Amino acid sequence: MILKEEVYQKETKTLKTITIENKQRMAVKLLNYGATIVELMVPDRNGNVENVVLTYENIGDYLDNPSCLGVTLGRTSGRIANGSFTLDKKVYKLTKNFGVNQGHGGLNNFSRQAWDYRVKANKDSATVVFHYTSPHMEEGYPGNLNAQVSYTLTEENELQIEFEGFTDQKTLCNLTNHSYFNLSGNYRRKVTEQKLRVKSDQFLELNESQIPTGRFINVDQTPMDFREMKAIGKDLEKDYEQLRRTNGYDHPWMLKDADDQIEMLDEISGRKMTIATTYPSVVIYSYNYPNGELLKYGKVGSKYDGICFETQYEPDGINHKHFHQGILDVGEHYYHRTVYKFSTIQEGGTCILV
């Protein structure tokens, strides 16, 4: 494993990037601010190594980052209705940053924090372990939460993310990563041209504020059906109420099976990504509201340039008794794992590890 560390100074902030690379030339560049994935370099079927996540041109742009490129989100990912919840008969009022709701943990969520980190390396893998202590009542959440996010790159071209947490008072915890994937390489093509399969029979209906109503909808005969691999853009702009409410895909899908729940494929480059997670759901977001971000390779972020797979508990779970509520109690160990495995397919369809 190859390790490289770099330091940047932006205003009063010290930004540090850590790059780990395996023998297959797959590499991940991480940033201490937001425990963020900055770049993910992956070979195509011909051995060309290119970036498969959206990346800012300037490292200092991660201080603002309105689209949350690559960041760790917490304490809770997704929206919480009316920015409030009740825990043990006590009402907690949260910072509201999505209209009347809270989104992704508030204005100063985990993506806007400098995380401590350490590096562990051995013969077959390297791990960067990030740590952040969220103080009691930060953004309105009770308890001091010790959060840890570990990124491990293996020689089998797997990027493993482990989310952990401990608290000294009952609280909420629902962590995720918010990387935008595009397997074409250096995002030369829209993700609408790439293919996706999701092991899911149901998704959550959203109201006009993009809060789950509590109703599970069967994907059958809807544009939300990815049980068989299909082009992401095939049904993306169909006249369907749920798509109109979010201007594209931005919904929680309930996951089936224990592993390999998601597959994404770019047939032209041959890159294939398989996602396995211990979380019960994934929010799939098709970059419906770009903010004109100045991206690497001289590009400006535009609609459908990338797609997020935000593995997590169901958003707003605390306000729905039949959802996973995301409650973490004293003495409990919050732990979830999401693994991204990269391979390539030959033009005839055979899958190989580059």
40-65 pLDDT, tens per residue?
A: 999 999 999 999 999 999 999 999 99
Q: What is the pLDDT of residue 306?
A: 98
Residue 269 marked as a ligand binder: no
- Examine the pLDDT at 140 and tell me if it is beyond 70: yes
Instruction: Establish if 299 belongs to a structural domain.
Output: yes
Asked if 347 is an active-site residue, the reply is: no
Domain-embedded: residue 220:
no
Tens digits of per-residue pLDDT, 216-270? 999 999 999 999 999 999 999 999 999 999 999 999 999 998 889 999 999 999 9
- In the prediction, which pLDDT does 146 show? 98
What pLDDT does residue 11 have? 82
Active site residue 136: no
Residue 322, marked binder? no
Report residue 6 as tokens. 């770099």
- Whether the pLDDT of residue 292 is over 60: the answer is yes
Q: Report how many domains make up the chain.
A: 1
pLDDT tens, 98-125?
999 999 999 999 999 999 999 998 889 9
In a domain, 208, yes or no: no
β partners of residue 194: none
44 labelled binding-site residue: no
| Annotated binding-site residue? 168 | no
Q: Between 286 and 1, whose confidence is greater?
A: 286
What confidence category does residue 351 fall into, taking pLDDT thresholds of 50, 70 and 90? low
The H or E element containing residue 27 is strand 27-31
pTM of the model: 0.96
- The reported pLDDT for the residue numbered 348 is 63
Residue 223 in any domain: the answer is no
The active-site residue, picked from 310, 314, 320, 336, is 310
Q: Which domain holds residue 166?
A: 2-192+264-352
239 within a domain of the structure (yes/no)? no
On whether the CB atoms of residues 139 and 85 are closer than 8 A, the answer is no
Using CA atoms, how far apart are residues 234 and 195, in angstroms rounded to an integer? 9
Q: The CATH number of the domain where 69 resides is what?
A: 2.70.98.10
Collect all residues with Cβ–Cβ distance below 8 Å to 4 and sequence separation of at least 6: 18, 19, 21
